[in-house]
Copies of this chain bind each other. A is one copy, B any other.
Amino acid sequence: MVWKNFDLLASYEALKGLDTVDVKTAMAGENGAKRVAEYKIPMSNGMVYSYAAKQVDDKVLDTLQALADEAALTEKYAELYNGAVINTGEGRLVLHQLCRGQLGNDVIKDGENKREFYVSQQNRIAEFANKVHNGEILNEKGEKYTTVVQIGIGGSDLGPRALYLALENWARANNTLKMEARFISNVDPDDASAVLATVDISRSIFIVVSKSGTTLETLTNESFVKNAIKAAGCEVSKHMAAVTSATSPLAGNPEYLDSFYMDDYIGGRFSSSSAVGGAVLSMAFGPEVFARIMNGAAAEDEKAKNPNVRENAALLDALIGVYERNFLGYQMTAVLPYSQALSRFPAHLQQLDMESNGKSVNRFGEPVNYQTGPIIYGEPGTNGQHSFYQLLHQGTQVVPMQFIGFKNNQMDNDLDIQGTTSQQKLSANVAAQIVAFALGKDDENPNKYFAGGRPSSIIVADKLIPETLGALLAHFENKIMFQGFVWNINSFDQEGVQLGKLLAKKVLAKDTDGALTAYSELLSIF
């Protein structure tokens, strides 16, 4: 496989030479309707990706196809899922997709079939969760557990938390909320205190999640929680479990109810599909629901194999993002889900994208001469419409947008008010916003004038259920992977985050280097 910097590809030059598409013109009148009908891709699980309101036309799409072919993007994906060392910086395989299904050849590593390893851990978790749910595992007083609390930070927190919140109300409405889940992440001691103040410790299981078993925040919060368990008159060994690597100091700790394992081939931000997400979500919703999330993701992983950019939503989404970043000059993307249940999904994507592709060197450690990963942020609509959309509509800079919408809401509870249901209002709003961003609005009053031409795409699903949630997760993971391939960077290490961990340790050991005199002075403000 040839890995070349983006700006050395013929398609880079071809993209540079293209005329810029004006979304305002493209989306107007009958032509706009025609674009919407044509510029969409069926995804897995009945979902649709619509890119009609993006700055592309057939010429741009053909050139993006040429880029996909020249950079061998789907071939690189195949290398990845067949077990190549794609994470060159750390010399590791990249196997988060393998957690969800077998996409290609068997991957044998460390003397074991990795798919079998992941399945075996999922099975161990399922058995444990079922025993907790059916009362085979009880607390010291012989009572059932009601709450599961995840103690983790970064990827051990944001992804599992976003997925939990996405399905919490759906699970409640469908009688599959087995245990409420809570999350402790921040080293800020008020975070742990606040969570502990609102759970019944005697009926809670705390899952300590750290791949290395050495994450400062997590170990600190573990001690904090252990103290609280003892103060509540309970036994630590009846209230803690671990998710960690088999070689970490946390593994097989006799103080824990049980330990579940992950390996080095799944980065934190991709670990929702591993035991990191599996344990807390299986305990909260039941293992069947977690399996449904994984099935939804696996179906989308399959779709991502297609080399045709007009049929592969993750691939085209990735390529349009690259085009926007490197040729249209946009520095960021706003992720705008029209579903309150996805309130923390943008925060998860922020980590996923910015931690993966916020790099300045290529996979060989050489500086690149082009922009890489964008800034990602977002909030659910319609809330954002009443807030920062002002700048998106009328600010001096263009921010590309990625909408997510649903045909139906999660709970059957909806009301017809003034002739439409709330869900109809929600769908009408997102469609109207896409059109308004594209077409703008003329007005004699310059204050009420909207230039339009602001590009967006949307993913539409029937309903936010485990399968579609899994597919959304996989879509964005695969989009980011393809972008990393185009930029020729390693999307799977995170030295910027490692620096933070290193600094914290140095600082706490009072080893702050002679050079960092500013640091002591800064601390004196505190």
Contact = CB atoms under 8 A, between A and B. Distances in A.
A160 to B, nearest CB: 13
B395 A522 contact: no
B224 A422 contact: yes
A36 B386 contact: no
B525 A350 contact: no
Given A197-B172, A354-B388, A436-B499, A517 B372 contact: no
Interface stretch (A93-101, A128-136, A215-223): A215-223
B268 A37 contact: no
Interface string A350-390: 11001101111100011110111101110111110111111
A426 B499 contact: no
A409 B355 CA distance: 28
Contacts of A431: 507, 519, 522-523, 526
Contacts of A189: 409, 411, 413-415, 421-423, 426
B157 A350 contact: no
A447 B495 contact: yes
Interface stretch (A13-21, A64-72, A298-306, A339-347): A339-347
Interface string A206-231: 00000000011101100110010000
A35 interface: yes
A105 interface: no
A188 B189 CA distance: 34
Interface stretch (A26-34, A280-288, A470-478): A26-34
Contact of A390 (B368, B438, B496): B496
Contacts of A371: 396-397
Number of copies: 2
Interface residues of A, number: 155
Which 7 A-B pairs have CB atoms at the shortest separation, nearest pair first? A358-B391, A154-B386, A32-B518, A393-B496, A377-B377, A358-B395, A351-B387
A40 B396 contact: no
Interface in A416-444: 417-423, 425-429, 431-436, 438-439, 441
B186 A526 contact: no
B432 A340 contact: no
A497 interface: yes
A294 to B, nearest CB: 23
Interface in A446-479: 446-451, 458, 460
Given A187-B382, A366-B446, 10 more contacts: A29-B517, A30-B517, A33-B517, A154-B386, A169-B197, A189-B414, A189-B421, A331-B332, A371-B397, A450-B499
Nearest to A198: B172
